Amino acid sequence: MSFQSFCSPMATYLEFIQQNEERDGVRFSWNVWPSSRLEATRMVVPLACLLTPLKERLDLPPVQYEPVLCSRPTCKAVLNPLCQVDYRAKLWACNFCFQRNQFPPAYAGISEVNQPAELMPQFSTIEYIVQRGPQTPLIFLYVVDTCLEEEDLQALKESLQMSLSLLPASALVGLITFGRMVQVHELSCEGISKSYVFRGTKDLTAKQIQDMLGLSRPAISMQQGRPLQTPEQPPISSRFLQPVHKIDMNLTDLLGELQRDPWPVTQGKRPLRSTGVALSIAVGLLEGTFPNTGARIMLFTGGPPTQGPGMVVGDELKTPIRSWHDIEKDNARFMKKATKVGASACRVCLKAKTEYCVGTLHGGERTVHKALYIAMLTAALCPSPVNISYSINVGTVCPDIRMVVLETPSLPCVINCENGQGKGKRLSPSYFSSVVLYLLREKSISVLFLRSQRMTCRDVSFVLLVPGCFSSLVYCFFFPRGHMVMGDSFNTSLFKQTFQRVFNKGYNGEFRMAFGANLDVKTSRELKIAGAIGPCISLNAKGPCVSENELGIGGTSQWKICSLDPSTTLAIYFEVVNQHNAPIPQGSRGAVQFVTQYQHSSTEKRIRVTTIARNWADAQTQLQHIEAAFDQEAAAVLMARLGVYRAESEEGPDVLRWLDRQLIRLCQKFGQYNKDDPNSFRLSESFSLYPQFMFHLRRSPFLQVFNNSPDESSYYRHHFARQDLTQSLIMIQPILYAYSFHGPPEPVLLDSSSILPDRILLMDTFFQIVIYLGETIAQWQKAGYQDMPEYENFKHLLQAPLDDGQEILQTRFPMPRYIHTEHGGSQARFLLSKVNPSQTHNNLYAWGQESGAPILTDDVSLQVFMDHLKKLAVSSAS
């Protein structure tokens, strides 16, 4: 398949990479593999790949039979195009363990001209539909927070009601609501609606939960393999989980009657919210009714858990929610408990037990709490006995006025107040103080501000530490296995559309979601598996191809992926174990097979098998081949994931240092330079973009917690760990388009120099779509030129980015925050914080040019960064 790659020029490599991605959903950091362990470690960037297991393929009709497996018990690899086949003897040799296997009887008729699909090269990725075990319906369990503002709850109720129509008719749904108490609603009853209520503070075992719900162990268990349609007594679960088509009306009414949590919240308190127990019960319910079955728990919450297991903050408003600073200082009172509960109550088996999120503050002494951000917690739950899997989808939101303190280091602090719709408005000091008072008094919200020397409203001295903070802090586990949406209110299109998109259907009319997936990776013997990073958890499957060195979630060759959609992407890291003194014969190839078993949204069980192979090369003699086959985009994302993974358990600066060191080493290895001469430094084309990615990664919210609440960090990291390569790159280095009268829209550098008065900029950071009108454009718009027929072209110019932005909004999941701002607007900060600060207040006047906009920051610019990099790379000292 890829022989020509060996001698092909760079362009071919790009094609090759693209072709492979199209077909197999795989991007390797190296497309030619160094053939010895020693060399591989010298390559700096590990041999790894990004795998999109369910990549949508229009041209891949599934086959309706079972895959043929290698008979060696430790191998069980699937028959694939790389296997050698003896058509006459009806034998095939496994390309991983070299076992010779007999074809099963059904294959009696095969010959060179009559090959089964799995032997054809174009089917290096193939999907089987298998008939194993009973078919279980899809299960959606809604877990809904009722501690919301009235209008918010209303909006949420409507969204939920609407979602019922999007579910497949045969899917089972259940409803759990929570506030101070947790209610499990019975769906089958006529007349009086009935629910089981649990105390929100009491951690219950699965057994207790099932006893209390009256779910005795079903005697008719699933493993007997009887199809569901046998006319049996409706299973006990029917009280809580019912097919949508049956209780459609019932549930709609039930949702309609949902009230806000009826417990009064006294002034100065937060509502009591028992998120932990609610999740625990949701899991207990599923375990009791559908053990070993995939299901989705969809959590909708509007604030931090304030009581019971998993609480992150008490109900006293005067106790602010922990900030990064608190976490770092080990001040977060409930953190230990919360994280522990995260593990126990939700029964998530994660390796990282203690601290999921730790970061450092830029500059070390300042924290800013953004008010009113709420996270959606997505946590996939996987009870330890491995075979049970649920994923949680979350929509969270907390409505309210947002007060944001935007602070750029050491520079004026701009205080903005926005309402839920996001309309920015600059405050007069008196208005500001009245807003603060309003928040404190009426909304029982407290906000934490930081004082800065040059405030717009100097006379408001109390800004120093106005109590509080509204932000909710839901610790998102680093490896959530569901969706997470974060927004200000359930009453925003951000939430509504995102939620709707969860139920989007693919090209073939099927849901773009899969349940209870299980990924099995097999490697040829020169390779071992070091680990995976992504929305998955280890199944602890030890085997010959498992490396002792772990990168990410390692020590296993199998992972559980509770919720999977076509864009879910895992990073899988390998280790070359071939010793230097046992060279691999020229032209031989290493192979990796990915076997993904999952429950398709049509309830079928499916297995997708992807088998890939790459050439080996001796790095000492053929380094240029290896170098040419470097996929810098994949490498950047893979390294970023490693960095983010580390950030979960290490101090922020350490991670940055590690990233820097890796980058320097890479440059040393592959750069061309004269010792100690920075100016001589050159990188080949296949590496040229890599340092820039790293520069932006260092500035990204994934590694910088400054100015982000822990919620936000978790949220960002969550999505970063599951999106595919393209999206991940956008997250690392946002895309910037410029619209002007000077030409057609063009991508421009993510640099402050791109911000020109006569330009409209469209920035896509994945999480935000920012449309920024340059100073002149903004003035024109204010002057109303766009409404004048003679300036219709201006109107078109204004419209063009909007259209493009809409296009992105339509396809992106989760729905990004849409920001329309202009020069000097408060929300311009979204743009300003992303661009490379090539012009700052420090050098602006020195340059004396009028191009671009100065950024008020002390951050280093790309230029400075590169200069340093070069210096360090060529330094003989290092």
Partner 1 sequence: MSQQGYVAAPPYSQSQPGIGGFGSPNSSLHYGHYGDPNSSYSAPQPGVSKSTVPFGSSAPVGPPPPGAHQFSQPSFQNGPGTPGQQPHRFQGPPPPGNTGASYPPYSPQSQPAFPNAAPASSTAQLADQLNSMQINNYGPGPTPSPGHPASFQSPRLPPPPTQQQMVLPPGPQVPPPPPTSVNGLCTQPSLPPVARQGGIPGPVPPNPNLQQLPGQPPGPGYHPQQANYGPQMAGSQLSYPGAFPGGPAQLSGPQQKKLDPNSIPSPIQVIESDKAARGGQVYATNTRGQVPPLVTTDCIIQDQGHASPRYIRCTTYCFPLTSDMAKQTRIPLAAVIQPFANVPPNETPLYLVNHGETGPIRCNRCKAYMCPFMQFIEGGRRYQCGFCNCINDVPSFFFQHLDHMGRRIDHYERPELSLGSYEYVATLDYCRDKKPPNPPAYIFMIDVSYRNIKSGLVKLICDELKTLLDKLPREEQEESSAIRVGFVTYNKVLHFFNVKSSLAQPQMMVVTDVSEVFVPLLDGFLVDFEESRSVITNLLDQIPELFADTNESETIFAPVIQAGMEALKAAERAGKLFIFHSSLPTAEAPGKLKNRDDKKLLNTDKEKTLFQPQGNCYEALARDCVANGCCVNLFLFPNQYVDVASVGLVTMYTGGTLYKYNNFQLDGDSPQFLSDLRRDMEKKMGFDATMRVRTSTGFRATEFLGAIYMNNTTDVEMAAVDCDKAVTVEFKHDDKLNEDTGALIQCALLYTTVSGQRRIRIHNIGLNCSAQLADVYRTCETDALINFFAKSAFKAILSQPLKTVRDILVNQTAHMLACYKKNCASPATVSQLILPDTMKVLPVYMNCLLKSCVLVGRAEIPTDERAFHRQLVMAMGVADTQLFFYPRLLPIHSLDVKSDAVPAAVRCSEERLSEGGAFLLANGLSMFLWLGASVSPELIQGLFNVPSFAHISTDATSLPDLDNPFSKKLKHILEQLQSQKPHTMKLIIVKQREQPEMLFRQFLVEDKSIYGGASYVDFLICIHKEISQLLS
Rounded Cα distance between 518 and 537, Å, is 10
Report in angstroms how near the CB of residue 653 gets to partner 1 at its nearest. 47
Instruction: Please tell me whether the peptide bond between 243 and the residue prior to it is cis, using omega within 30 degrees of 0.
Output: no
By CB under 8 A, is residue 850 in contact with partner 1? no
Stretch that binds partner 1, among 94-102, 115-123, 185-193, 813-821 (CB under 8 A): 185-193
Do 595 and 607 contact (CB within 8 A), yes or no?
yes
Q: Between residue 262 and residue 301, which ones bind partner 1 under the rule CB under 8 A?
A: 262-264
Stretch that binds partner 1, among 42-50, 149-157, 210-218, 717-725 (CB under 8 A): 210-218
By CB under 8 A, is residue 161 in contact with partner 1? no
Rounded Cα distance between 746 and 107, Å, is 55
One-letter amino acid for residue 428 of the chain:
S
By CB under 8 A, is residue 193 in contact with partner 1? yes
Rounded Cα distance between 504 and 509, Å, is 9
Number of residues that bind partner 1 (CB under 8 A): 21
Do 576 and 32 contact (CB within 8 A), yes or no?
no
By CB under 8 A, is residue 195 in contact with partner 1? yes
Q: How many CA atoms lie within 13 A of 356 on its CB side?
A: 28
Do 467 and 371 contact (CB within 8 A), yes or no?
no
By CB under 8 A, is residue 700 in contact with partner 1? no
Report in angstroms how near the CB of residue 208 gets to partner 1 at its nearest. 8
Among 61, 104, 214, 268, binds partner 1 (CB under 8 A): 214
By CB under 8 A, is residue 198 in contact with partner 1? yes
Report in angstroms how near the CB of residue 319 gets to partner 1 at its nearest. 23
Question: Which runs of E-coded beta strand occur in 544-669?
Answer: 558-564, 570-576, 589-599, 605-617
Among 259, 384, 434, 679, binds partner 1 (CB under 8 A): 259
By CB under 8 A, is residue 238 in contact with partner 1? no
By CB under 8 A, is residue 657 in contact with partner 1? no
Among 139, 141, 181, 312, binds partner 1 (CB under 8 A): 181
User: H/E element holding 189?
Assistant: none
CB proximity list for 845: less than 8 A, separation 6 or greater = none
Stretch that binds partner 1, among 258-266, 579-587, 591-599, 767-775 (CB under 8 A): 258-266
Q: Compare residues 195 and 558 and give the one whose CB is closer to partner 1.
A: 195
- Residue 42 has φ and ψ, to the nearest 5°, of -75, -10
Report in angstroms how near the CB of residue 504 gets to partner 1 at its nearest. 34
Report in angstroms how near the CB of residue 215 gets to partner 1 at its nearest. 11
Q: Compare residues 211 and 651 and give the one whose CB is closer to partner 1.
A: 211
Q: Compare residues 217 and 661 and give the one whose CB is closer to partner 1.
A: 217
Closest CA to 140 of 187, 108, 107, 101: 187
Report in angstroms how near the CB of residue 179 gets to partner 1 at its nearest. 10
Strand bridging mode 570-576 / 672-674: unpaired
Query: 351-390 mask for partner 1 (x: CB under 8 A)?
Result: ----------------------------------------
By CB under 8 A, is residue 236 in contact with partner 1? no
Pair of tokens at residue 783: 């002057």
Q: How far apart are the first and last CA of the chain?
A: 41
Rounded Cα distance between 818 and 279, Å, is 31
Do 553 and 573 contact (CB within 8 A), yes or no?
no
Q: Compare residues 227 and 262 and give the one whose CB is closer to partner 1.
A: 262
| H helix runs in 290-331, sequence order | 324-328
Q: What is the DSSP letter of 708?
A: S
For 598-612, b/e burial (b = at least 16 CB within 10 A) is bbbbebebbbbbbbb
Report in angstroms how near the CB of residue 798 gets to partner 1 at its nearest. 48
Among 10, 91, 197, 465, binds partner 1 (CB under 8 A): 197
Among 139, 147, 213, 694, binds partner 1 (CB under 8 A): 213
Stretch that binds partner 1, among 198-206, 350-358, 651-659, 762-770 (CB under 8 A): 198-206
Rounded Cα distance between 815 and 832, Å, is 22
Q: At what angle do helices 652-670 and 690-699 cross, to 10 degrees?
A: 170
Strand bridging mode 294-301 / 389-397: parallel
Rounded Cα distance between 720 and 698, Å, is 14
Stretch that binds partner 1, among 259-267, 470-478, 491-499, 570-578 (CB under 8 A): 259-267
Q: Compare residues 160 and 382 and give the one whose CB is closer to partner 1.
A: 160
Report in angstroms how near the CB of residue 274 gets to partner 1 at its nearest. 12
Among 162, 212, 411, 450, binds partner 1 (CB under 8 A): 212
Report in angstroms how near the CB of residue 379 gets to partner 1 at its nearest. 24
Q: Compare residues 270 and 369 and give the one whose CB is closer to partner 1.
A: 270
Q: Compare residues 257 and 790 and give the one whose CB is closer to partner 1.
A: 257
Closest CA to 592 of 31, 42, 64: 31
By CB under 8 A, is residue 192 in contact with partner 1? yes
Among 14, 64, 202, 845, binds partner 1 (CB under 8 A): 202
CB atoms closer than 10 angstroms to residue 506: 15
Q: Compare residues 63 and 212 and give the one whose CB is closer to partner 1.
A: 212
Q: Compare residues 61 and 214 and give the one whose CB is closer to partner 1.
A: 214
Pair of tokens at residue 771: 């449309």
CB proximity list for 380: less than 8 A, separation 6 or greater = 348, 389, 390, 391, 392, 477, 479, 480, 481, 482, 535, 537, 562, 563
Q: Compare residues 194 and 269 and give the one whose CB is closer to partner 1.
A: 194
Stretch that binds partner 1, among 192-200, 438-446, 469-477, 631-639 (CB under 8 A): 192-200
Report in angstroms how near the CB of residue 259 gets to partner 1 at its nearest. 7
By CB under 8 A, is residue 211 in contact with partner 1? yes
Among 90, 194, 362, 871, binds partner 1 (CB under 8 A): 194
Closest CA to 628 of 28, 24, 30, 23: 30
Do 240 and 187 contact (CB within 8 A), yes or no?
yes
Stretch that binds partner 1, among 110-118, 255-263, 459-467, 726-734 (CB under 8 A): 255-263
By CB under 8 A, is residue 199 in contact with partner 1? yes
Stretch that binds partner 1, among 196-204, 545-553, 592-600, 861-869 (CB under 8 A): 196-204
User: H/E element holding 131?
Assistant: none
Report in angstroms how near the CB of residue 398 gets to partner 1 at its nearest. 22
Write the CA distances from 286 to 139, 275, 365, 542, 721, integer angstroms. Answer: 9, 17, 46, 28, 27
Q: Compare residues 214 and 747 and give the one whose CB is closer to partner 1.
A: 214
CB proximity list for 194: less than 8 A, separation 6 or greater = 185, 186
Report in angstroms how near the CB of residue 349 gets to partner 1 at its nearest. 27
By CB under 8 A, is residue 187 in contact with partner 1? no
By CB under 8 A, is residue 105 in contact with partner 1? no
By CB under 8 A, is residue 257 in contact with partner 1? yes
CB proximity list for 500: less than 8 A, separation 6 or greater = 159, 162, 163, 166
Report in angstroms how near the CB of residue 182 gets to partner 1 at its nearest. 9
Strand bridging mode 172-178 / 139-145: parallel
Q: Compare residues 179 and 480 and give the one whose CB is closer to partner 1.
A: 179
What is the contact surface with partner 1 in residues (CB under 8 A)? 181, 183, 191-199, 202, 211-214, 257, 259, 262-264
